[in-house]
Amino acid sequence: MTCLRPGLPSPNFDGKLLPARVAREDLSRADGNGLRCEEETEMTNAIITLWRRGFLRALNRGGDVQIDDQALRIRAAQLAARRGFSGGGAQTAFNEALATGLHAAAELLEEAGLDRRAARDRAGAAFLQSGKGLAHWLTRAWLWTASDPVGQAQDGDRLSARARLIWGAGMRFHQENGPDHATLKVTECAFADYFWDAGRSDLTPILCAWDAQWIEIVNASDRPVSVSRSGTLAQGCDVCDFCLRRVPAEQMALPAWHPHSAR
């Protein structure tokens, strides 16, 4: 790191001189950004490790064929080197880990003697199980903090903004709002592209089924919102659409503790 003497001007990258205070502030910001990037990378790696452990536990539960962590990591790394996700950042790294982890598991199970369909189904079931807790926690947290989920989603196209924040540059989103709804349309999906290029489009619907988990949680809640999806890119549709629609008070489900609740 460059050391600056107080009170002396410092050269800019284009050869101009900057006051030492400004130069120190620029370096401080750069150091801060670098530290945040390192922290973000460490956090992402920790989340990926936790997810992979849960995925492996579900994958090996009750099966004759057992896949170990090292084999899964090596195969996933090979797949990523062959055709990884474009872009950078924590979101891209996490998306790539999900896709290559699922892909690697299906390949390893098939090599161990399962036919392609059985390997896909077992890897898919483990994948959905590994994400169930996370989907439940994140969805419940969102519902608990949002008194009007649809209004919140409409505000500043927050639904598409949040989707970009979560899923990163490999996805393309478009939001459409109406009086009582906010619809997120996914026009490009990094997962669908990855599995298509890898010749394993049969694995893409497993990622789509992961979305179905949080949709089910929302629709079973007592919040004034319902979510529907009419189709996916994996099914050959032009978009994956997620429609958040405001539910009138008289149609809202009663909480489980209510004496007149049907649940």
Mean pLDDT, the chain, as a whole number? 83
**pLDDT value of position 45:** 87
SS3 199: coil
Give residue-wise pLDDT tens across range 140-169. Answer: 888 888 889 999 999 988 999 988 888 887
Residue ranges of domains in the chain: 31-251
Find the helix or strand (DSSP H, E) in which 174 lies: strand 172-178
How many residues make up the chain in this entry? 263
Q: What angle do CA 112, 114, 119 make, to 5 degrees?
A: 105
CA distances to 93, 97, 118, 131, 137 from 45, in Å: 8, 10, 30, 16, 20
The upper half-sphere exposure of residue 98, i.e. CA atoms within 13 Å in the direction of its Cβ, equals 24
Give residue-wise pLDDT tens across range 111-131. Answer: 999 999 999 999 999 999 998
Matching residue, tokens 């107080």 = 6
CA dihedral for 98, 100, 106, 109, sign (positive or negative): negative
Distance between CA 52 and CA 58 in Å, rounded? Answer: 10
For residue 78, give both structure tokens.
């090979």
Do 168 and 194 meet the contact criterion of CB atoms below 8 Å apart? Answer: no
Please indicate whether residue 24 or residue 231 has the higher confidence score (pLDDT): 231
Which of these, 86, 93, 94, 123, lies nearest to 209 by C-alpha position? 123
Give residue-wise pLDDT tens across range 180-205. Answer: 999 999 999 999 999 999 999 999 99
Please indicate whether residue 33 or residue 247 has the higher confidence score (pLDDT): 247
The answer on pLDDT for 259 being more than 60 is no
